[in-house]
Each structure stands twice: as C-alpha cells, then as structure tokens.
Structure 1
Amino acid sequence: MTSLFERLKTAAADAWQAYTHHEFINQLEAGTLPQAAFRHYLVQDYLFLLQFSRAYALAAYKGQTFADVAKGQAGLLASLEESELHVRLCAEWGISREEMAATPEHPATVAYTRYVLDTGMRGDLLDLHVALSPCVVGYSEIGKRLAPAIQQQPDHPYAEWISEYASEEVQQLAAEAIGYIDHLGERFLSEARFENLAQIFATATRMETAFWQMGLDLGQE
C-alpha cells in the first residue's frame, strides 16, 4: 500500500524535482557553489530553524496523546541541534551566533516559516506535519544522494553539511516523519481532505525551492 507521504510526493512530483535538484544543490554537490551563497543560506537557515522550532512546539501543543507531544518535542530538539551545525560552520567565517540572530529575515524565510506556522494554527496535526515534511524528508534525500560527492572529493568544501544530512540520524528522523504522517493519516485523513493536503505539501515544497534560490541570489549581491 502506498504511504500517504508518497502519495503527496507523487502529486507534487514536478515541484519535488525542482526542490531536490535545484541549481543551488547541484553546485553544492560539485563543490562549486560560491561561498557567499552558502554563507547567506546558512544564516537564513539558522533564522528559519528558530521558526521551525516554534512549529514543532505548536505540534506538541496540538498533540492529543503523549505520543503526539513526544513527536513535537523530538522535532523541536532536532531543530535546536541542527542549528548548532550552522553556528559551527558560520564561526569558521567569523560570524557569531549573535550576528546570525541579528540578521534580518529574508522575505523567503518569512514566507516559508510563517506559512507553516499558519497552516498549523488553522489546521490539525496532520496539516502541520505535512507542511513540515518537505524540509525534514527532502534534506535527508538530498544528503543521501550527495554523500558520494564527499567520498570522491576528500577536500570537498561542503563536506560537513553533506555529512550531516546524509547521516544515519537524519535518515532515521526522515523515516520516522514519514511513518508518523501515515499514522496521522489513519487518524484524520478522509479522501475529501487529500486535495487540500496535497496543496499544503506542494506549497511548502515550492517554498523550499525559493529558499535555495534565495541563497543563489544573495550570493551574487
């Protein structure tokens, strides 16, 4: 039986391809991505993770069982831990945690994160976790696909980033997120809702693509 996540991904196939194979990712894989683009992306993604932490806190608040609350807590803790990768990488360029926090949010950051939060506020746990899923699952897919690049190029400039998202821990988080969406689907899904869920998923996926593009654009300024 096809999982709910796979149904959503299939419904947004073109958007998913554009997101997971964006030029930002292609250049990152090749090691040719301009450092300025990567640096701008990291700072904005640090700000992004603050808002995603809030979204997972909202998921805990909206939980109807202890298991639901635990899932929200796990996502919150994972986002906090992920932000430390950004702190470490930016420290190599002399950018402090305080400087990152003081950077204005780019419109692409605001649009994506507030969309997810608004979706969660208006809807239920299924709506919220569907909106969150392109990030956690997409990054794991990208990391796994890019992993051979750092084996072939020992001095790859983005090896730490790729290694993080190719890691077993991230792959496990993604698998759990997919499984949890299926679990929520069993509790809350009706076929009448699928079209709306597919729209939520596709919108969040397109916003991931816009986030990569933001990094490329800022790197050229």
Structure 2
Amino acid sequence: MGGAPLPDLAVPGGLFARLRDGARASWDRYVRHPFVVGLGDGTLPEAAFRHYLVQDYLFLIHFARAYALAAYKADDLADMRAASRSMSAILDLEMGLHVKYCARWGVGEGEMAAAPEAQATLAYTRFVLERGMAGDLLDLHVALAPCVIGYAEIAANLLADPATRLDGNPYRDWIEMYADPAYREVAQSQVALLERLSARRGGNARFDSLLRAFEAASRLEAGFWDMGLSLAD
C-alpha cells in the first residue's frame, strides 16, 4: 500500500517516547509481529484471528477492571472522572462493538464468555492489575500504554507499509478501526496522560522502574500475538 505515514503519537523527549526507545527491541517485536504482518497482507489464518477475537473479549473485561482500579488510585476528581469515562466506554460501547464485529466472524458472545483464558491473556491482564495495585496511577498507565498506544501505531505502520493489502483483505476493517482518527485521539490522550502523570509523580526519578514495566508489558503484548498464531491456551 505504502501511503503517507501518519504522524508519530509520541511527544519528542516525553515519557512515552523515552519508554519506547528504551524498550525498542521488545516494542518492535510487538508492533511488527508476524501476526501483525499477516493482518496487513491478509495471510493471517482465519482460525488464528478468531482465537484472538475470543481472547480479546476476555481481555476487555479485565481492561475495564483496570480503569476501575485507576479511579481508586486517582487522587483528584479529574483523574477519577477520566477513569470512569474509560471504563464506561469499554463496558457500554467497546464491548458491544466487539461482540457485533465477532458475530461477523461467526463467533458468538456466549462462546467468548465461556472460553477459558489463554495463558497469554492471564499473563498480561494480571500483570497490568498487579502493577496498578502495587504501584500508583503512573505505574498502572505505563503498563496499559503498550495496548492503548501500540494498536494505533500498528495500524499506522500497516497503512504506510507497501506490503499491506486492503482490497480483498478480510482484516481491512480491523486495520481501519485502529487507524481511525477517533481511536488515534484515544491513543494521543493516553500519551498526554502519561506526560501529566510523569510530571506530577516524579516520572524522571522513577524512569528505570517504569521502563522495566513498559518493556515487560510490550513483551506480554507480543505474547498475545504468539497466542493467536499458536492457537494454544
């Protein structure tokens, strides 16, 4: 395809940019994973994508719990309200859209709700919740960042990649959903939140610890793609 690249979401010299640079090997393995390549050129086995969709449904449940934890960890009303809006968006909008999307792939909500969590799903979701419970709001959002921001970067990379094929690609809707301005605004807001929390909560002094968490979360995201390809629980 090879279109004009979308702007980088990172603030130059900001916390997210530094975290991404510091975890570059793990980050690149995540955002340029063979699963992602298969989405771009349409060669990803459909069984692998369906397995991913089921686990992503289960992941969203814990994602909502993470934002409930963010509201608890917040120390002002603005952050509490932001966390509440994010949780509501997942429970009241995103999960419904996910269910409708999965129905087009022949996957029903009952099947997804009854499915056991794959090891990769357990690993990443529990890691995020643990970082939030053991640390503060900045720790929690650093652990969430690879998911929220990474999907926007993945979609932008795919649209700019000459190997990406949209015409006739069964995954076109997925790519366009995460390249859509509405989702990029969500990702950009996450970047801005990281910068605000870093300034308020001593992010520079804690950078090494935050980088370890970000790098681990990026590896766990790559593991989620591995899970999709392997079809293993």
TM-score by length of structure 1 reads 0.93
Deviates more, 1:147-156 or 1:51-60: 147-156
What is aligned with 1:62?
73
- For residues 154 and 50 of structure 1, the distance between their equivalents in structure 2, rounded to whole angstroms, comes to 33
- Residue 50 of structure 1 corresponds to 61
| Counterpart check, 1:30 vs 2:41 | yes
For 2:32, the equivalent position in structure 1 comes to: 21
**Equivalent position SS for 1:32:** coil
Aligned match for 2:123, one of 94, 111, 124: 111
Q: Flag the 1:129–1:173 CA change in 2: closer, same or farther, 3 A.
A: same
1:148 positional shift: 5.7
* Deviation sequence 1:80-126 (CA, Å, 0-9, x none): 33333431232124321111111000011001000000100111000
Q: How far did 1:79 drift?
A: 2.8
Instruction: Return closer, same or farther for 1:161/1:25 CA change in 2, 3 Å cut-off.
Output: same
Aligned letter for 2:144? Answer: L
SS at structure 2 position matched to 1:183: helix
| Letter paired with 1:127 | D
Kindly indicate whether the alpha-carbon contact (under 8 Å) linking 2:158 and 2:164 is maintained by their aligned counterparts in 1.
Answer: no
CA distance in 1, matches of 2:168, 2:176: 13
Letter in 2 for 1:70: R
Aligned partner of 1:171 in structure 2 is 184
Structure 2 residues without counterparts, runs of 5 or longer: 1-11
Aligned partner of residue 153 in structure 1, secondary structure = coil
- DSSP 3-state at the match of 2:231: helix
33-42 vs 79-88, which moves further: 79-88
Q: How far off its partner does 1:62 sit?
A: 1.2
Partner SS, residue 54 of structure 2? helix
1:210 Cα deviation from its structure 2 partner: 0.2
Report the CA distance shift for 1:18/1:180 in structure 2 as closer, same or farther (over 3 A): same
The structure carrying a bigger helix percent of its residues is 1
Residue 50 of structure 1: how far off its partner (Å): 0.4
Q: Tell whether 2:173 aligns with 1:160.
A: yes
SS at match of 1:105: coil
Between 1:153-162 and 1:120-129, the stretch displaced more is: 153-162
How far apart in 2 are the matches of 1:42 and 1:86? Answer: 8
Identity of aligned residues (%): 49
Range moving further from structure 2, 203-212 or 185-194: 185-194
Moved more, 149-158 or 90-99: 149-158
In the TM superposition, what is the alpha-carbon distance from 1:191 to its structure 2 partner?
3.7
Shift in Å, 1:65: 1.1
Matching residue of 1:181? 194
Letter in 2 for 1:171: R
State TM-score, norm by structure 2. 0.89
Asked if the contact 1:43–1:86 (Cα under 8 Å) also holds between the matched residues in 2, the reply is no
From 67, 87, 96, the equivalent of 2:108 is 96
Conserved in 1, the CA contact under 8 Å of 2:41 and 2:165?
A: no
- Cα root mean square deviation, aligned: 1.9
How far 1:190 moved relative to its partner?
Answer: 4.8
Aligned to 2:148: 136
- Cα deviations across residues 179-205 of structure 1 (Å, max 9, x unaligned)? 010000010025441111000100001
SS at match of 2:206: helix
Show structure 1 runs of 5+ residues with no match.
none
2:134 aligned residue (99, 103, 122): 122
- Distance (whole Å) between structure 2 residues aligned to residue 190 and residue 28 of structure 1: 35
